[in-house]
Amino acid sequence: MQVLHAPEQLAPYFGCALVPTMGALHAGHGALMRRMSGRGMPVLATVFVNPTQFAPREDFAKYPRTLADDVKLAEECGADAVFAPTAETIYPFGLDAARAEAAAWPLPDVAHQPRLEDASRPTHFGGVCQVVARLFDLTQPAMAVFGEKDFQQLRVLEDMAAMARAANGRWGSLVIEAAPTVREHDGLAMSSRNRYLQPEQRDRALALVRALQHAAAATDPPSAERIMRTTLEAHGLTVDYAVVRHASTLLPVTSWHAPTRALIAARIGDVRLIDNMSMPIRAGLGEPGGQG
Ligand code: PAF
């Protein structure tokens, strides 16, 4: 297993399957690497805690840095190399210039219209797009995989890649692949933040997946939203959002007729957790595929 730090070392990995991460790797990241192995291209995992996607009040300094363990897990899960660049490699003009660039990043609609993560973290997706674009430029992957756990991020990056392709063919035929959320045995979505939960909070965190399961059985999206909020609040969680949205635009919906996704962000103490789930499509009367 090679650990690369310099861009000059990347040429043998051009055309790779890229697994971008911020480290603190867990089995969910491992699943992304396993998913990419055996595709006839090298698997390159990146580990870089990106300062420009953290707001000043967020936990950039506290974010766990566990490179030795990350490299071990990446190797066990089929990665061929780990690229762990320095901030100077990613942002050669310094952090202030990088933050200014991130703030002006041309974002797709799905990064600022839905009022989901974008509402509470208005500078977040500028930083995410910036660093992922930089990683794509440096590593020239054939494909890149992102987890559905960060569903809005996934949709933003899919649209960013499509915009770049349409504008000037940047990143050629790069394929963005979505990977399903990996869950613990009891359904809790795997997240680097789960390590901050006390055992009693860990139990209450199951309200997220339970709320999403209840939502899938609701008669319509507004009822699903009420059920999710009630479930979360009954377990003492503070709800940031608990909504049903169009699965592609992430804009509000009032029926189950289109592909939809239920999405939650909620806090337990200081820990903010997110989760989401695809909702079943139900054709209504007069709808294509319906009974009337
Ligand atoms: O999802 C993450 O870990 C990060 O947002 C990403 C995509 C690696 C960019 O820093």
Give the model's pLDDT for residue 284. 67
Q: Are residues 32 and 124 in the same domain?
A: yes
- Are both 163 and 219 inside the same structural domain? no
Tens-place pLDDT, residues 154-177: 999 999 999 999 998 899 899 999
Query: Quick check: is 69 in a domain?
Result: yes
- The rounded Å distance from CA 53 to ligand 1 centre is 9
Split at pLDDT 50, 70, 90, the class of 292 is very low
Residue 248 has pLDDT above 80, yes or no: yes
- pTM as predicted: 0.95
Task: Check whether 59 has a pLDDT greater than 90.
Answer: no
Asked whether 20 lines ligand 1 (CB < 6 A), one says yes
pLDDT at 290 over 50: no
> Closest ligand 1 atom to the C-alpha of 128?
9
- Check whether residue 135 and residue 258 sit in a common domain: no
pLDDT digits (tens, 9 = 90+) for 186-245: 999 999 999 999 999 999 999 999 999 999 999 999 999 999 999 999 999 999 999 999
Q: Taking Cα atoms as reference points, which of 271, 55, 286, 39 lies closest to residue 175? A: 39
Total structural domains in the chain?
2
Evaluate: CB of 260 within 6 angstroms of ligand 1: no
- Assess if residue 80 is contained within a domain: yes
Helix (H) or strand (E) segment spanning residue 232: helix 221-234
* Residue with tokens 């890229």, as numbered in its chain: 18
Mean confidence (pLDDT) of the chain: 95
Residue whose CA is closest, atom 9 of ligand 1?
128
Length of the chain: 292
Distance, in Å, from the CA atom of 37 to the CA atom of 91, rounded to the nearest integer, reads: 29
CB of 128 sitting under 6 A from ligand 1:
yes
Q: What whole-number distance in Å separates Cα of residue 277 and Cα of residue 247?
A: 10
Q: Could you tell me the pLDDT band of residue 289, with boundaries at 50, 70 and 90?
A: very low
Q: Which of these, 93, 101, 148, lies nearest to 128 by C-alpha position? A: 101
In contact, 73 and 29? CB cutoff 8 Å: yes
* Structural domain of 46: 2-179
Q: Name residues whose C-beta falls within 8 Å of residue 255's C-beta, 6 or more positions apart in sequence.
A: 220, 221, 284
**Nearest one of 66, 78, 56, 88 to 21, comparing CA atoms:** 66
Cα(224) to ligand 1 centroid in Å equals 29
Q: Look up residue 210 and give its two tokens.
A: 């339970």
